[in-house]
Amino acid sequence: MAKPLISGETGRLLRKYRMLYLFMLPGLAILLTFAYLPMGGLVMVFQQYDPVSGFFGSEWVGFANFRRVFSSPVFSRALRNTIVISGLKLLIGFPMPILFSLMLNELRMQRFKKTIQTIVYIPNFVSWVIVAGVWYSLLSSEGVVNQVLMNLGVVEEAILFMQRKDLFYPIIIFTDLWKTLGYSTIFYMAAIATIPLEHYEAAMIDGAGRFRQAIHITLPVLSGTIALLFIMAVGGLLNAGFDQLWTMGNLAVRDIADILDTAVLRTLTSGSVNDLSTGAALGMFKSVVGLVLFFLTNWVSQRLVHESLV
Amino acid sequence: MKLSKGERVFEVFNVTVMILFAAICLYPFLYVIALSFNEGKDAMRGGIYLFPRVFTLENYTKLFEDKRLAGSFLISVFRTVTGASLGMLVNALFAFALSKNDLPFRKILNWLIVIPMYFGGGIIPYFLVCKSLHLTNNVLVYVIPWLATPFYIMLLRISMKDLPDSLEESAQLDGAGYGTVFFRIVLPLCLPALFTVILLGGITHWNDWLDGSIMVSNSRLWPMQTLLLNILQGADMMSFFKGKNLSTAGGMVRKIEITPESLKMAMLVLTVVPIFMIYPLAQQYFIRGIMVGSVKG
């Protein structure tokens, strides 16, 4: 049904709310400038961008930048690393918070439980710069990990943890878990808090032990949250952890640490103007594929979570 | 309540695992703090676990002598305070307008804040936009682009929608305009949500290092996190040591006990301390924000 653009009612509301549009002006200006203008700036992926001519004057080159990206060894390496790191994080990092929440839920002393929660949330609130600095120090040759290993006689000489390619992924997975585990339990603990105590009491009268209560009462309540978080994690598969890899990576492990996001940023920090369009094209590839992945998994989640909630 | 034997074993196991895990979360910070108060040369021998062995404040005093550190601290404080409070205001104003169900063009405006949550132009066009606005090598780049945050707008809108319309209507009958309604009625009633936005915004500002790394090449305009990252990666250590290796006190040459490592540790501690100070007060607001966000998301 076609409506006139501004009916009498809309006009009345516009007048009534005219002050509110003024309220929105600052936020609107910021969003248009810093969120939407860069989206428009993506025209540069079809140009050989040069800063002097800008977005309007640069030469059009069609899909040449994409061809350059896809044929570059850096791209295939970064794509592989991104998927491998994300996959490992999903495989190992995803089940842990569920297990941890179930265990946390079994703690009887509320005071103790609260204290544990408060402590394990802490690493989430410090930056990856701090996390990288702290763990580089712990894992350094005179750091505490090597000291303990040597004192126990496990190793003769200090292990150069951060220089070893075979240890880099385990360290990345572990530090990611260290930083985010507590944070991820917040969602599960909130779901658990909705379970009425009577359910547990009824199960207890029926003779169910605590293990069976956790499996048959707590876990089913979590299934919706689990499905949702899992699907969101799959949707974010191309986000392998930019902050972490940029702050913790180093030249010795560049081959296996370089992900799509870090490759994009390096085209910017390398200072070579020629790379800007290629870098933007690489970035655009990542966000477009990421968006498709997100909508795909979101669609699946609507069906799946809907089913699992019934 | 009677516990079976298996349950009692589990109880002990569970509590042990929890304590262990909490210790793993906390210990790395304690270790770094211990190192930062230990003489650098001595720390290289290893064997420091929880307390400094040769206590010194020298790592910190050396850091404080560096003008750039004080500068970066001020920049971090500047962006955290102005960024979080101005951002709260901009987002709250936007959210207040969007909380009106019959606001014309509300749908379009809604999409306008949803789209950037899922898609962006990426870092390179963003950099070029900031550059063309002369925001590169300018401390304003830490504040201005961050002022409008879709996630905070949604968070604030949720709590503003919960307010009863009658409050606003009766104020308007008394002749109050939207300005008065917003500042006198809406904001005071949304204080918990406002705190959440300020604290989440503040912590994001304090923790951000990327802007400094890409937008600002003049290291005197870096926030602490960017400076720390460069020091940690070894790119910026020499400038810290320049002219400090041999400090003379009263004509006597003081022994050098500082190492790049010990300075790094002190810098790390200084950068993380503000978070640790506000964390106990702010925890409930953080969790609230995360929860509300997840319900919406």
CATH of residue B122: 1.10.3720.10
Q: Is the pLDDT of residue B242 over 60?
A: no
Residues of chain A found within 8 Å of residue B291, distances taken between Cβ atoms = 186-187, 190
Q: Does A221 touch chain B (CB under 8 A)?
A: no
CA Rg, chain A, in Å? 26
Calculate how close chain B gets to A281, using CA atoms only, in Å. Answer: 9
Residue keyed to tokens 């572990």? A174
CB contact under 8 A, B14 and A142: no
Residue B157 belongs to some domain of the structure: yes
Residue B50 belongs to some domain of the structure: no
Q: Does A19 touch chain B (CB under 8 A)?
A: yes
Residue keyed to tokens 């899922």? B118
Section A250-278 average pLDDT: 88
Question: Identity (one letter) of the amino acid at A206?
Answer: D
Spatial contact of A119 and B26, defined as CB atoms under 8 Å apart:
yes
Residue B41 belongs to some domain of the structure: no
Q: How many CA atoms lie within 13 A of A215 on its CB side?
A: 5
Calculate how close chain A gets to B14, using CA atoms only, in Å. Answer: 7
CA A263 to chain centre: 17
Residue B167 belongs to some domain of the structure: yes
Residue B293 has what pLDDT?
61
Q: Is the pLDDT of residue B1 over 70?
A: no
Residues of chain A found within 8 Å of residue B280, distances taken between Cβ atoms = 118
Section B236-240 average pLDDT: 57
Q: Which of A106, A119, A287 sits opposite B14 (nearest CB)?
A: A106
Residue A122 has what pLDDT?
94
* Number of C-beta neighbours around residue A60 at 10 A: 9
CA-wise closest residue to B129 among A176, A10, A43, A235: A43
CB contact under 8 A, B129 and A186: no
Give pLDDT tens digits for A114-148.
Answer: 999 999 999 999 999 999 999 999 999 889 999 99
Query: What's the whole-model pTM score?
Result: 0.91
Q: Distance (Å, rounded) from C-alpha B291 to C-alpha A190?
A: 8
Residues of chain A found within 8 Å of residue B208, distances taken between Cβ atoms = 127
Burial class (CB in 10 A: 0-12, 13-18, 19+), A92: middle
CB contact under 8 A, A138 and B28: yes
Spatial contact of A35 and B118, defined as CB atoms under 8 Å apart:
no
Section B100-113 average pLDDT: 93
Section A82-105 average pLDDT: 95
Residues 64-83 of A with CB under 8 A from B: none
Q: Distance (Å, rounded) from C-alpha B247 to C-alpha B228?
A: 23
CB contact under 8 A, B153 and A127: no
Residue B185 belongs to some domain of the structure: yes
Residue B296 has what pLDDT?
44
Q: Which of B5, B25, B29, B124 to mutate to test the interface with A (most CBs of A within 10 A)?
A: B124
Residue A47 has what pLDDT?
92
A4-8, B26-30, B117-121, B158-162: range with highest mean pLDDT: B26-30
CB contact under 8 A, A38 and B122: yes
Q: Is the pLDDT of residue B265 over 90?
A: yes
CATH 1.10.3720.10 applies to domain A67-309: yes
Question: Which of the 8 DSSP states describes residue A36?
Answer: I
Q: Does A196 touch chain B (CB under 8 A)?
A: no
Residue B56 has what pLDDT?
92
In which band, very low, low, confident or very high, does the pLDDT at B297 lie, cut at 50, 70 and 90? very low
Higher pLDDT, B228 or A2: B228
Residue B102 belongs to some domain of the structure: yes
Q: Which of B1, B18, B224 to mutate to test the interface with A (most CBs of A within 10 A)?
A: B18
Give pLDDT tens digits for B7-37.
Answer: 889 899 999 999 999 999 999 999 999 999 9
Give pLDDT tens digits for B182-236.
Answer: 999 999 999 999 999 999 999 999 999 999 999 999 999 999 999 999 998 876 5
Residues of chain B found within 8 Å of residue A106, distances taken between Cβ atoms = 10-11, 14
CB contact under 8 A, B24 and A178: yes
Residue A2 has what pLDDT?
53
Residue A225 has what pLDDT?
85
Q: Is the pLDDT of residue A84 over 50?
A: yes
Tell me the pLDDT of chain A averaged across its residues.
90
Instruction: Look at the alpha carbons of A266, A267, A269, A272 in this order and tell me if their dihedral is positive or negative.
Output: positive
Residues of chain A found within 8 Å of residue B145, distances taken between Cβ atoms = 30, 33-34
CA-wise closest residue to A182 among A92, A87, A228, A116: A116
Q: Is the pLDDT of residue B268 over 60?
A: yes
CB contact under 8 A, A23 and B35: no
**Residue A59: strand pairing partners:** A48
**How many structural domains is chain B composed of?**
1
Calculate how close chain A gets to B290, using CA atoms only, in Å. Answer: 8
Residues of chain A found within 8 Å of residue B179, distances taken between Cβ atoms = 19
In which band, very low, low, confident or very high, does the pLDDT at B122 lie, cut at 50, 70 and 90? very high
**Alpha-helix runs per DSSP H in chain A:** 8-16, 18-31, 37-40, 54-57, 64-71, 73-88, 95-105, 110-121, 128-138, 144-151, 165-192, 197-205, 210-213, 219-235, 242-248, 254-257, 260-269, 276-309
In which band, very low, low, confident or very high, does the pLDDT at B249 lie, cut at 50, 70 and 90? very low
Q: How many residues does chain A have?
A: 310
Q: Are strands A47-48 and A59-60 parallel, antiparallel or unpaired?
A: antiparallel
Q: Distance (Å, rounded) from C-alpha A146 to C-alpha A136?
A: 12
Which of A170-174, A214-218, A256-260 shows the lowest mean pLDDT across its residues?
A214-218
Q: Which of A125, A268, A287 sits opposite B286 (nearest CB)?
A: A125
CB contact under 8 A, A129 and B232: yes
Section A13-40 average pLDDT: 95
ipTM for the complex shown: 0.90
Chain A: residue whose CA lies nearest to B47: A147
The 3-state DSSP class for residue A106 equals coil
Spatial contact of A141 and A225, defined as CB atoms under 8 Å apart:
no
Q: Distance (Å, rounded) from C-alpha B17 to C-alpha B167?
A: 51
CB contact under 8 A, B177 and A26: no
CB contact under 8 A, B125 and A42: yes
Higher pLDDT, B30 or A193: B30
Residue A3 has what pLDDT?
54
Residue B143 has what pLDDT?
97
Q: Is the pLDDT of residue A307 over 50?
A: no
**Alpha-helix runs per DSSP H in chain B:** 5-36, 40-43, 58-65, 67-98, 106-118, 123-132, 150-161, 165-173, 178-180, 187-189, 191-207, 210-215, 224-232, 237-241, 260-296
Which of A173-182, A225-234, A301-310, B227-236 shows the lowest mean pLDDT across its residues?
A301-310
CB contact under 8 A, A17 and B97: yes
Q: Is the pLDDT of residue A17 over 60?
A: yes
Residues of chain B found within 8 Å of residue A142, distances taken between Cβ atoms = 43-46
**Residue B38: strand pairing partners:** B55
Q: Distance (Å, rounded) from C-alpha B207 to C-alpha A263?
A: 22
Higher pLDDT, B231 or A228: B231
In which band, very low, low, confident or very high, does the pLDDT at B42 lie, cut at 50, 70 and 90? confident
CB pairs A-B closer than 8 Å: 249
Residue ranges making up the domain that contains B275:
57-296
CB contact under 8 A, A133 and B124: no
Residues of chain B found within 8 Å of residue A31, distances taken between Cβ atoms = 112-113, 116, 148, 150
Section B75-83 average pLDDT: 97
Structural tokens at position B209:
């290092």
Residue B250 has what pLDDT?
41
Q: Distance (Å, rounded) from C-alpha A309 to C-alpha A7?
A: 43
Calculate how close chain A gets to B245, using CA atoms only, in Å. Answer: 23
Calculate how close chain A gets to B45, using CA atoms only, in Å. Answer: 7
CB contact under 8 A, B124 and A21: no
The angle that helices B67-98 and B191-207 make with each other, rounded to 10 degrees, is 140
In which band, very low, low, confident or very high, does the pLDDT at A233 lie, cut at 50, 70 and 90? confident
Give pLDDT tens digits for A49-78.
Answer: 988 888 888 899 999 999 999 999 999 999
